[in-house]
Amino acid sequence: MTRKIRFAGRFLFLSCDSDAVQRQIAGQDLALPAALPLRDNISTDEITPVVIMMTYDERLGTYPYVGFKTEGKLPIGNDAIKHGGFEITVAGKRYGKGSSRESSPLAEKSAGIRLIIAESFERIYRQNCDNIGIYTSTDFSLIERIRAGEAIDLDEFLVGRDAITQQVIRAGGLLPYSQQHLPKQPAKVFNSLVDLRRPMTLVEKIIERRCVAPQGDLHPGDGVFLSADWRFSHDYFTGMCAHLMHGAFGEDLELARPEQIIAFQDHLILADQSYPHVRDNLLAAVGGLASAHDAFVRRYPVLAHGALAGQSGSEGICHALLTEKYALPGQVVVGTDSHTPHSGALGCLAFGAGATDIANSWATGFIRCRMPEVIKVELKGRLRPGVTAKDIVLELLRSEPIRQGQAIGAVFEYTGEAVSALSIDERATLTNMVAELGGFTGIVIPDQRAVAFIRERRGIEIELEDWLFSDPDAHYKERIVIDCAALSALVAAPGDPGNGIALDDLEQPVPVDIAYGGSCTAGKREDFDYYHEVLAWGLARGLRIAEHTRLYLQFGTLAVRDYCQQRGYLDTFEQAGVELIMPGCGACANCGPGSSTHAEQVTVSAINRNFPGRSGPGQVWLASPYTVVASALLGRLASFEALQADFAAEAELA
C-alpha cells in the first residue's frame, strides 16, 4: 500500500514582495496569486547565512531565511518560521543555489518545514533534502490539494527521481538506506572498459569505471554509487559529518580507506579577524566547531591541513590544496563544498556534497550521484590581453539559459583552442565556478599541461592513461560556443553571479570602497601574476591605490605565498599599499579581512559569488583579478585596459 503524507501546517510563500512576506510572518495566510511573483535564485547564503552556522543540531531551527532579502529588506527574523507554524515553503526557480551547506535544509527541517515546492532546485540542495528527509516537489498543484486537507501519496514525491533516490526517500534518508543496502567492506572499483556499449564522454567513462551500484547499462539521470578516491571536509562540517556518521554507524566504526580522507581547517581560520564574528561574540562557537574538527583528526588516521604555527591563516584552501597536492586525472574527488569541481581542471570527476553524503562516504567509501548529461563548451580563439577565465565564466553566467537553470546538474566539459592555451590555474577557475552555473561539475580533458602541473607542484611524473578522453562521437546534451577573441572584461552586479555586464556598458561610474583578490577561485599563482602585473604597471607610472579604496590580496595556499616571495611580488605589494592576508577562505565566506561592514560599502571582488550577505552587508561586484586591481588604482570599477587608456589620456593632456 502506498504511504500517505499529510501536511497540517502553514504555507510560506517566499515572494518578491517584502510586504507579502511580512504579512505571512505576522499570521496572515495568502493564496499563491497574492504572493506572486515568487523569488528566484534563493541561495543557501540567504537560507542560513554563514554567521549563524555555528551548530549542527536542532538549534539551527531558529534561523532559516534570516538572510532572505527582497526589495532591499530582510523580512524574516529569528524563530519566525518555528513560531509561525509553517510547514511548507514555496519559491521560484533555482532554489537552494550556492553553497553545499547542509545546514540550510537542516535549519528548515528543525523549524518545522517538511516540504519545499519550487519551480526548480539546485542539485546539491535537493539531494541534501533527500538525505535528511525533507520532501521536495516542482508540482504547484499540490498547494491547493494540501490546503483542501488531502493526504498526498509518497509516490508523488518520487516522480522524476532516479531509482536510487526513490529508495533513499522511501528509507527516510541516505544513512538508513546505506545501512540496509550498501556493502560493509568497501574497496576501490575499476570496472573494465573493454566492452564499451557506446561512445562516451570522459565523465561517463569515470563513472562507468567507479560504479558499484547499480550494475548494468547506465543512462543519463540514473542514480549511482561510486567508489570515491579523495573524500574531504572542512572545519564548518567535519564535526557535523562525524556526528552523523557515528549516529548511523556507531562509535566503533573504522573508516573506509582513511588515507584518502582529508580534513581541512580553512573556512573559519581567520574568524578572530572577522568583523561579524567578533561583533556577535561568535568566537566561542567557532572554537566549538574547531574542537570537533580537531577531535576527528586526532581520532582517525586521516590526512589533515590545519592552522599555521605562530601566525594567522592556514596551509591553504581545500580545493586549491587538493589540486596542488593530491588529485590525479581520472579520479573521483568529493567534499563538503560546492567548489570541489576545482580539481576538474586536472581531468577529475570532482563534485561537492552535503554532510550526510560525506559522512556516508567516510564509512562506506561510496558517494552517491547521478549519471549526468554533459554540455560541451567550446572556447574558440584566444583571449585578449587583460581578459581571463573569470570573464569567460561571467559570460556564461549571464546567458539566459544558464540564468533560468537549464544547466542544473549537467557537466560542463570545456574544450577548444582557448582552453588548450590556458594554464591549469586558469582552467581551475572554469571548473570551480560550475557551482555558480548550477552544474554538477566541470572538467577539462587532461593533457601535457596537466602532467607538467603535477610535476611542477609535486615533483612527481605521471603518464596519462589511454582512456582519459571523450570519444569523438560521444553524445552531448548541448554545445555552447564562445568566441573568446571577442570577449571583453565583465563584472557581475550585486545580488547574483548571473548579473553580468561588460564593463564598457556601465552607464555611470561605480566608486569602489573595497577591492578584494583571493579565495579558491582567485588566490592561485596565476591570479597573483595578474595582480602583480597591474600593480607593477601602476607603480612604474606613479600610481597608487585610490585614497578611499582598500586593496586586500589573500593567498590561496602557503605555496602561493612562497611563489610570490620568490618572484619579488611581495615588495611590489608593499610599495603599493596592499593589505596581504594569509591563506584561508576569509572574506569569501564573510569570515575575515576584506568583508564589508555596512550596507553602503561597495566591493569589487574576484571571489565566485555575490549573493546577499555573502561577503558582508555591502554591495559586491564580481570581477577578474585584473579588474579588481585596476579598480583599486582608479577608485572605481574599471578594466586594466580602461586604466591604461585613462593614464594615456591624462599623460597626453599634461
Contact of 243 with 56, CB cutoff 8 Å:
yes
Helix (H) / strand (E) element for 565: namely: helix 558-566
Same domain, 621 and 581: yes
* 380-415 pLDDT per residue, tens: 999 999 999 999 999 999 999 999 889 999 999 999
Q: How many CA atoms lie within 13 A of 603 on its CB side?
A: 32
Reported confidence tier of residue 628, pLDDT bands at 50, 70, 90:
very high
pTM (2 decimals)? 0.95
Over the chain, what is the mean pLDDT?
95
The reply to whether 268 falls in a domain is yes
Domain hosting 81: range is 4-160
Taking the CA atoms of residue 398, residue 402, residue 403 and residue 406 in that order, the dihedral angle to the nearest 10 degrees is: 170
CATH number where 648 lies: 3.30.499.10
What is the SS3 assignment for 197-228?
A: CCCCCHHHHHHHHHEEECCCCCCCCCEEEEEC
Q: What is the chain's alpha carbon radius of gyration, rounded to the nearest angstrom?
A: 24
Cα–Cα distance measured from residue 331 to residue 419, given in angstroms and rounded to the nearest whole number: 21
The pLDDT assigned to 646 comes to: 87
* 407-447 pLDDT per residue, tens: 999 999 999 999 999 999 999 999 999 999 999 999 999 99
Is the pLDDT reported for residue 194 higher than 50? no
Worst-scoring range by mean pLDDT, 175-189, 312-326, 457-471?
A: 175-189
Query: Which amino acid does the sequence have at 383?
Result: L
* 529-543 pLDDT per residue, tens: 999 999 999 999 999
The reply to whether 167 falls in a domain is no
Q: Among 487, 520, 548, give the residue marking a domain's end.
A: 487
Same domain, 473 and 553: no
The reply to whether 168 falls in a domain is no
Same domain, 236 and 142: no
Q: Of 289, 233, 253, 96, give the one whose Cα is nearest residue 175.
A: 253
Cα–Cα distance measured from residue 418 to residue 454, given in angstroms and rounded to the nearest whole number: 21
Residues 32-57 have a mean pLDDT of 93
Same domain, 116 and 199: no
The reply to whether 204 falls in a domain is yes
Same domain, 470 and 582: no
Residues 460-473 have a mean pLDDT of 97
CA distance readout (Å), 562 to 315, 492, 558, 568, 583: 12, 31, 6, 10, 11
Same domain, 385 and 343: yes
Cα–Cα distance measured from residue 459 to residue 291, given in angstroms and rounded to the nearest whole number: 34
The reply to whether 166 falls in a domain is no
Same domain, 155 and 91: yes
* 107-145 pLDDT per residue, tens: 999 999 999 999 999 999 999 999 999 999 999 999 999
Respond yes or no on whether the N-terminal peptide bond of residue 183 is cis (omega within 30° of 0). Answer: no
Our measurement of the distance from residue 533's CA atom to the centroid of its chain's CA atoms, rounded to an integer in Å, reads 28
Query: What DSSP state is assigned to residue 339?
Result: T
The pLDDT assigned to 188 comes to: 60
Same domain, 386 and 256: yes
Respond yes or no on whether the N-terminal peptide bond of residue 37 is cis (omega within 30° of 0). Answer: yes
Residues 46-60 have a mean pLDDT of 90
The pLDDT assigned to 216 comes to: 79
What grid cell was written down for 323? 589540486
What grid cell was written down for 575? 610599495
Cα–Cα distance measured from residue 96 to residue 165, given in angstroms and rounded to the nearest whole number: 18
The pLDDT assigned to 650 comes to: 78
Contact of 372 with 440, CB cutoff 8 Å:
yes
The pLDDT assigned to 654 comes to: 63
The reply to whether 135 falls in a domain is yes
Same domain, 463 and 568: no
Furthest CA-CA distance within the chain: 86
* CA dihedral (486, 488, 491, 493) positive or negative: negative
Same domain, 534 and 637: yes
Q: What percent of the chain has pLDDT over 90?
A: 91
* 274-305 pLDDT per residue, tens: 999 999 999 999 999 999 999 999 999 999 99
The reply to whether 88 falls in a domain is yes
Q: Among 421, 454, 487, give the residue marking a domain's end.
A: 487
Our measurement of the distance from residue 426's CA atom to the centroid of its chain's CA atoms, rounded to an integer in Å, reads 17
Worst-scoring range by mean pLDDT, 191-195, 330-334, 347-351?
A: 191-195
Secondary structure of the chain: what % helix, strand, coil (to 5)? 40, 20, 40
> Terminus-to-terminus CA distance in the chain, angstroms?
86
Same domain, 425 and 471: yes
Reported confidence tier of residue 651, pLDDT bands at 50, 70, 90:
confident
Is the pLDDT reported for residue 653 higher than 80? no
Domain tally, the chain: 3
Q: Among 431, 459, 487, give the residue marking a domain's end.
A: 487
The pLDDT assigned to 652 comes to: 72
Is the pLDDT reported for residue 546 higher than 90? yes
Q: Of 555, 622, 567, 623, give the one whose Cα is nearest residue 320.
A: 555
Is the pLDDT reported for residue 598 higher than 90? yes
The pLDDT assigned to 146 comes to: 98
Same domain, 402 and 313: yes
* 89-98 pLDDT per residue, tens: 999 999 999 9
CATH number where 22 lies: 3.20.19
Query: Which amino acid does the sequence have at 527?
Result: D
Our measurement of the distance from residue 422's CA atom to the centroid of its chain's CA atoms, rounded to an integer in Å, reads 22
Residues 200-219 have a mean pLDDT of 92
The reply to whether 283 falls in a domain is yes
